[in-house]
Structure 1
């Protein structure tokens, strides 16, 4: 069994909990995912099963889209409402101020990851250091915000809440984005709800709940999506049938065995390697040093 399963994660379990459930259902240990959702968060979780885990690095940085709710006038140690309250403010920004600030967070920005996160500093995960009572300096990381749109605002329990749609690069912390917006607006803010609606080409329309899956591997198999389709944003290179063994052995594919390929491909870019029958064999990197060639790097052919 191999392929991609898109899960609509419920609030409560960790992403690792979801993987454990799928391991029990499928009987397969080799299962991973393309981006952690905090326990509080819900929505699209792209799960890789079997040899599909080999392409995780190509999917982890795919753009992600979220619906995020912020509560203003409060800050916490986790930057969301599950954490310990650090400050509270009676004064809160108005809707106009919030809208005015959003363009400042568009495009390439720097984020300092929260202490309660899986980022590693000196080989140790930050959340483990935080649990031990340690706070360390964290270097800012570059991320890209494609869209940060205001949807609505309302008052609840004496606080202003606002809902946003965020489309961002992989590796972006939405709770940090909300925290930083609160700092700029005055009075602080914490993430109070988060739903991921899309990862790359996969949206909620592709997602299944855990409860919708049966208790055996057959229920998973019938819902698997192909790795080839997940990577269809990459161009193709088609090879001769007798060159399939070259791919399996990691041998360079030169113009003698390539049938079709994008001649204008950038050097070092990745291509999907396929047979003339459409069988997906893996991914290779373009080389232009001595003519056009493709070096297999991720092999899925059996």
Structure 2
């Protein structure tokens, strides 16, 4: 089959790693060039955005997107990993009401400077945090600004609380749950997690890997496979042909294209502009603006 360039919206099941998903995508699509736009913990499920072939060049633009999650938090339990797969460090009685859980949970919105989970892939001095944890090495766990909004309370059965919310890229749901447990005075750990949205894509658009494989074998169209020209839906597009396209393929922006970009680009709103072929409709390049340099080609897409 013709090599696919674009995104694959995968529904990751619980119990497998993000690396497992990428490895299986490589096998299904017959290419080594596969990445993803945001890791999910092994116990988590939900939307993973796979980047295939030339779409790996779009990684930073997809990664920048906000996320949404549906989560469950086990109250009265604290673990080293901040989820139920970890070693229990402490248990406490849960003497809180449903109203208290709802009130505290809904109050945890906005920007917060929270501690990053020790079991995470953030690097300190070239080594991932979870490597320090596994080797029981001393390390100063960093804090970072995380933003949470649209928090909704979904229920509390006496031991397990259920919420959903949106958050900024790089925010840790486990850190939010740890804060919830601290505020309630009984501790908490993550017991379930589903990523429901990775801007601009929703879980409902995704496909299970087995259904993707079967659909491709049968030659069916797979809506969860997003071509390059549709991958960055919110970014403005300009279409070119002829001499402009020839120059662009050689890493140059023609005077005419540059003049047109000046009229379209809004520095308050736009980070990039997509350049597409007027004849084929394919994405040719990503153009951005840099101080003292003006418009520059950020990525050239080759098929």
Give TM-score, length-normalised by structure 2: 0.89
Aligned counterpart for 1:283 among listed residues 263, 283, 286? 286
Where does residue 77 of structure 2 map in the other structure? 74
1:202-223 CA distances to partner (integer Å, 9 max, x unpaired)?
1122111112122696579943
Q: Secondary structure at the match of 1:214?
A: helix
- Answer whether contact 1:253 1:294 (CA < 8 A) is retained: no
Tell me how far apart the structure 2 counterparts of residues 257 and 238 of structure 1 sit (CA, whole Å).
13
* 1:18 corresponding residue in structure 2: 21
The residue aligned with 1:98 is: 101
Cross-structure match for 1:46:
49
Partner in structure 2 of residue 228 of structure 1:
229
How far apart are the structure 1 equivalents of 2:218 and 2:259? 38
Q: CA deviation at 1:42?
A: 0.6
1:301 CA displacement: 3.8
**Number of the residue aligned with 2:180:** 181
Deviation per CA, 1:154-179: give whole Å up to 9, x if none: 13xxxx21110111111111011111
Q: Which residue of 1 aligns with 2:271?
A: 269
Q: Structure 1 stretches of 5 or more lacking a match?
A: none
8 Å contact 1:239–1:258 — kept in the other structure? no
Find 1:57's aligned residue among 45, 52, 60: 60
Assess, with a 3 A threshold, how the Cα gap between structure 1 residues 248 and 297 changes in structure 2: closer, same or farther. same
1:251 — aligned with what? Answer: 252
TM-score (norm 1): 0.90
Cα pair 2:118 2:130 within 8 Å, conserved: yes
Of 129, 134, 147, which aligns to 2:150? 147
Unaligned runs of 5+ in 2: none
Would the alpha carbon gap of residues 221 and 146 (structure 1) be closer, same or farther in structure 2, given more than 3 Å must change? farther
Q: In the comparison of the two structures, how many residue pairs are matched?
A: 296
Q: Once superposed, which parts of structure 1, at least 4 consecutive aligned residues long, lie more than 6 Å away?
A: none
CA RMSD of aligned residues (A): 2.4
**Matched residues in 2 for 1:279 and 1:228: separation?**
6
What is the match of residue 162 of structure 1? 161
CA offset at residue 50 of structure 1?
0.3
CA distance in 2, matches of 1:89, 1:264: 55
Alignment partners' CA distance in 2, 1:214 and 1:230: 21
Q: Distance in 2 between matches of 1:120 and 1:164?
A: 29
Structure 1 residues 26 and 220: CA distance shift in structure 2, 3 A: farther
Aligned counterpart, 2:206: 207
CA offsets, 1:254-273, max 9 Å, x none? 34565576535118821111
Aligned to 2:301: 300
User: Per the alignment, in what secondary structure is the counterpart of residue 225 of structure 1?
Assistant: strand
